[in-house]
Amino acid sequence: MKKNFWEEKTLQEMNSQEWESLCDGCGLCCLEKIETEAGEVYFTDVACRLLDTKTCRCKDYSNRSKKVKDCVKLSAKNTAAFDWLPATCAYKLIHNGKDIPAWHPLISGNKESVHAAGISVKNRIISSGSDGEWTVLQKLTD
């Protein structure tokens, strides 16, 4: 993979390895969300049952769409789905012509940098398969 490929290619031009590497592993996209009548999106602290709450990675990534009916598989063809993604998401940032942040693993060279920066949901969420109270974690803002 070429260094800084995201600066030279559009999302549509990326190969699958480049595309997948854009995911920083924050886990925010795998949280249950609440949308108000006004169109505001809020992230809860309840994660998809397939999200590993300690690693922020899908437990069955290749079969996620089959196992979770409302799982949205991101692609360069469905950029309308980017609206609900967190403001820190590389897919959304690149789509909107913005730079990815310094803590992103592609910049830092460290997969743990997203957790160290406090961006990820690691150890701050519960699985939708567990019992317990939940709250709204953050409002989605640009």
For residue 110, what are its two tokens? 């460290």
Least confident of 2-11, 43-52, 75-84, 94-103: 75-84
Residue 24: per-residue pLDDT: 97
Residue 141: per-residue pLDDT: 47
pTM for the predicted model, two decimal places: 0.85
pLDDT single digits (tens) 93-138: 999 999 999 999 999 999 999 999 999 999 888 887 655 555 555 5
Residue 135: per-residue pLDDT: 55
Residues sharing a CB contact under 8 Å with residue 30, sequence separation 6 or more, in sequence order? 47, 48, 50, 51, 56, 58
pLDDT single digits (tens) 49-77: 999 989 999 999 999 989 998 888 888 88
CA pair distance 114, 25, nearest whole angstrom: 7
CA pair distance 96, 91, nearest whole angstrom: 9
Residue 57: per-residue pLDDT: 93
